Amino acid sequence: LSGVPREHRAFQYLLAHAVPGDPRHILSTFDRWSCHHEHLSCVGPVKGRIVERLLAERAPRRVLELGTHLGYGAVLLAAGLPPGARLYTVAVEPQHGAVAEKVIRLAGFDERTVELIVGPTDVVIPRLRQHHGLAQADFIFMDHRKRWYLRDLQLLETHQLLAPGATVLADNVLFPGAPHFLQYAKTCGRYRCRLHRASLEY
């Protein structure tokens, strides 16, 4: 009714209530907004703990996120990086990318730690090595449009962007669901698959 997009309303709430430079407080403020005001399709605290645990186990040096919405996932991933590691996060929608950039910087991460790239993933992925200096990724987090999961995984393979032993973590594969991606991952012979059971966000 106000004419202000939901994403901007959430960011204004973040500015008013979150502690700048504190990634955990940024995430918990997003969680409060989603629980008590308007739902946002963020990772959320339950699935966030799965992401944090896998990051701690793998200690990746180069992380790629496909699907920056408002920066929640990027802040979560960046907070779990080992020293000297770098996150490349891809925002499909320019208006979401503009908000995510502000959120990431508000959380205290500069361009040396988190590089935000705006554009369709099928355009960005083939350019990651030449234009952004990402030779290979150790950890990939997919949280964009589910129908693109399989296409983008195969693009990563084609352009040899998956490091040996890389972890590919994909959200919401059961609901709304990414059945073709799941079938490929389970049957192509390149991956060992593990399903993490979790509730939907909030």
CA distance 180 to 183: 5
**Assigned domain for 17 exists:** no
pTM (2 d.p.): 0.95
25 part of a folded domain: no
- Dmax over CA atoms of the chain, in Å, equals 51
φ, ψ at 140 (rounded to 5°): -120, 130
> Active-site residue 146, yes or no?
yes
Is 201 one of the annotated active-site residues of the chain? Answer: yes
Catalytic-residue membership of 171: yes
CATH number of the domain encompassing residue 47? 3.40.50.150
Is residue 95 situated within a structural domain? yes
The tally of domains found in the chain comes to 1
In a domain, 181, yes or no: yes
In a domain, 178, yes or no: yes
Residue 139 within a domain: yes
Q: Is 79 exposed, middle or buried (0-12, 13-18, 19+ CB in 10 A)?
A: buried
List Cβ<8 Å contacts ≥24 apart for 25-32: 26/75, 26/103, 26/106, 26/107, 27/72, 27/75, 27/76, 27/79, 30/70, 30/72, 31/202
pLDDT at 2: 65
93 is catalytic: no
Q: Is position 193 within any domain?
A: no
Q: Which two tokens stand for residue 95?
A: 């208006």
**Along the 202 residues of the chain, how does pLDDT read in single tens digits?**
567 888 899 999 999 999 999 999 999 999 999 988 888 888 999 999 999 999 999 999 999 999 999 999 999 999 999 999 999 999 999 999 999 999 999 999 999 999 999 999 999 999 999 999 999 999 999 999 999 999 999 999 999 999 999 999 999 999 889 999 999 999 999 999 999 988 878 7
Q: Considering the candidates 7, 31, 101, 201, report the single residue annotated as catalytic.
A: 201
Q: What are phi and psi of 155, to 5 degrees?
A: -65, -40
Q: Which is the catalytic residue, given 146, 152, 157, 186?
A: 146
In the chain the first and final C-alpha atoms are separated, in Å, by: 24
Residue 76 lies in domain: 43-188
| 152 part of the active site | no
- Residues near 86 by Cβ (< 8 Å), separated by ≥ 6? 61, 62, 63, 112, 113, 114, 115
User: Which run of H or of E encompasses 142?
Assistant: strand 137-142
The one catalytic residue among 31, 65, 143, 152: 143
Distance CA 164, CA 136 (A): 9
Q: What is the pLDDT of residue 6?
A: 85
Element (H, E) at 140: strand 137-142
β-pair type (86-91, 62-66): parallel
What pLDDT does residue 39 have? Answer: 80
Catalytic residue among 47, 115, 138, 172: 172
Q: What is the predicted pLDDT for the residue at 93? A: 94
Q: Let me know if residue 62 belongs to a domain.
A: yes
